[in-house]
Chain A
Amino acid sequence: AQSVTQLGSHVSVSEGALVLLRCNYSSSVPPYLFWYVQYPNQGLQLLLKYTTGATLVKGINGFEAEFKKSETSFHLTKPSAHMSDAAEYFCAVSDIEGANNLFFGTGTRLTVIP
Chain B
Amino acid sequence: GAVVSQHPSRVICKSGTSVKIECRSLDFQATTMFWYRQFPKQSLMLMATSNEGSKATYEQGVEKDKFLINHASLTLSTLTVTSAHPEDSSFYICSVRMSGTGYTFGSGTRLTVV
Contacts and interface: CB of A to CB of B under 8 A. Distances in A.
- Secondary structure at the B interface, as helix, strand, loop or mixed, is strand
Contacts of B99: 97-98
A83 B106 CA distance: 24
Given A43-B6, A46-B103, A101 B46 contact: yes
A98 B102 CA distance: 10
A42 B107 contact: yes
B43 A104 contact: yes
Interface string B1-42: 000101001100000000000000000000010100000011
B85 interface: no
B108 A42 contact: yes
A49 B102 contact: yes
Contacts of B110: 41
A46 B93 contact: no
B58 to A, nearest CB: 13
A44 B106 CA distance: 7
Interface residues of B, number: 26
B97 interface: yes
A79 B41 CA distance: 27
26 contacts: A9-B41, A41-B9, A41-B10, A41-B110, A43-B93, A43-B106, A43-B108, A44-B93, A45-B105, A46-B102, A49-B102, A90-B43, A97-B102, A98-B99, A100-B32, A100-B34, A100-B49, A101-B34, A101-B46, A101-B49, A102-B46, A104-B44, A104-B45, A105-B43, A106-B42, A106-B43
Interface of B: 4, 6, 9-10, 32, 34, 41-46, 49, 93, 95, 97, 99-100, 102-108, 110
